[in-house]
Amino acid sequence: MKVIEISNLNKIYNETIIPVHAVNNLSLEINEGEFTAIVGPSGCGKTTLLNMVGGLDKPSSGSIQIQGEDITAYSASRLTQLRLWNIGFVFQAYNLIPVLTAFENVEFIMQLQNKSKSERYERTMELLEAVGLKDKKDVRPSRLSGGQQQRVAVARALASKPKFILADEPTANLDSTSTETLLNIMEELNLKENITFIFSTHDKRVMDKARRIIRLEDGRIIEDQGIIH
């Protein structure tokens, strides 16, 4: 099943001065259950593409359909709802809320969804166990290692039961051991629960795990290996 369908997508910065085509007439489909890495040099359009798919940035032209609905014309409030219910994010800088514990960080999005206290507790503990951090539930981010913080971020991204996860350079700040642990967790969640993961990365370790690699250059796809039908 198609989760994302992108058609003739463009993102142009400085349109009136010297136009910069961050994403250049790009078309792409992502199917349910994919474990896909979008790769390429800095400035090739990886993060811009992920930000547009996640509704964090608006395209200059083209369409992005998520489960058959074009999100490019959505209002800001509708995009907020889309992100709340359909998209999980994992960022390079973790982006955990420093005053909240690991448990509270994971639980937070479910509070925004008005889930019951019992449902929030059960889901949060299940996810912290899945990422190997059940024993750290009452610990704040400053007392966790970088790898542990990123695993909390993965649990948080999954909390809303999203349609897919967008992971922007998730291993960039991690050592090799933490990277391996994180990638194994995400791969297991992908294989066992059919969760769709889309990475933006230049980390070979992520590429080695990915089952599909989409290579960008100057905002265009120059190579697409391992498409899942």
- Beta 196-201 vs 164-168: how paired, if at all? parallel
What's the distance, CA 5 to chain centroid? 16
146: number of Cβ within 10 Å? 14
pLDDT in tens, the chain (229 residues): 899 999 999 999 876 778 888 999 999 999 999 999 999 988 888 999 999 999 999 999 999 999 889 999 899 999 999 999 999 999 888 889 999 999 999 999 999 999 999 999 999 999 999 999 999 999 999 999 999 999 999 999 999 999 999 999 999 888 899 899 999 999 999 998 899 999 999 899 999 999 999 999 999 999 998 754 4
Domain that holds residue 14: 2-225
pTM higher than the cut 0.85: yes
Number of domains in the chain: 1
Record the tokens describing residue 105, joined without a space.
């960080």
CATH of the domain at 27: 3.40.50.300
The residue type of 227 is I
